[in-house]
Amino acid sequence: MQDLIIEATKSSPRIQLNPVTHVLDIRGESYPENATKFYAPVFAWLGRYLAELGDEPVTVNLCISYFNSSSSKALMNLFDQLEDACRAGRRISVFWYYDPDNETALECGEEFREDARELQFQLVALPAQP
């Protein structure tokens, strides 16, 4: 299985899904014109990956500084897909990175964590910028 890499644009995050290291990384802002279309290849790749996954733990790193409501829905769909995998015995840890000066990012992370109870979901404050 190949990596899935989607480079960032002004309105979409960089996404790297690596089946060898078992790390899924999403970074940047997410407000694409059509979030459903943008995230469709991510969900498809993830579905294939999780179906083939052995006993290895998976790490999901999310560092999204801003996202719109349709991207929020896409993230909930991502968490639903990951929770289904957890219920099937997969070990998945989610790290939600946020700027400590961005209360909205922290609150969104808290809400996602509350909704995605099957996942090991940790909120991680980014170091302050000098």
Partner residues linked to 62 by β-bridges: 26, 96
At 103, the amino acid letter reads E
Give the per-residue pLDDT at 1: 85
pLDDT, tens digit only, all 130 positions of the chain = 899 999 999 999 999 999 999 999 999 999 999 999 999 999 999 999 999 998 999 999 999 989 999 999 999 999 999 999 999 999 999 999 999 998 999 999 999 999 999 999 999 999 876 6
Give the Cα separation of 46 and 25 in Å (integer): 12
In order of their start, the domains of the chain are 4-125 (3.30.750)
The Cα-based distances of 109 to 28, 53, 71, 81, 119 in angstroms read 15, 26, 14, 17, 13
At 121, the amino acid letter reads F
- Phi, psi dihedrals of residue 126, rounded to the nearest 5°: -70, 150
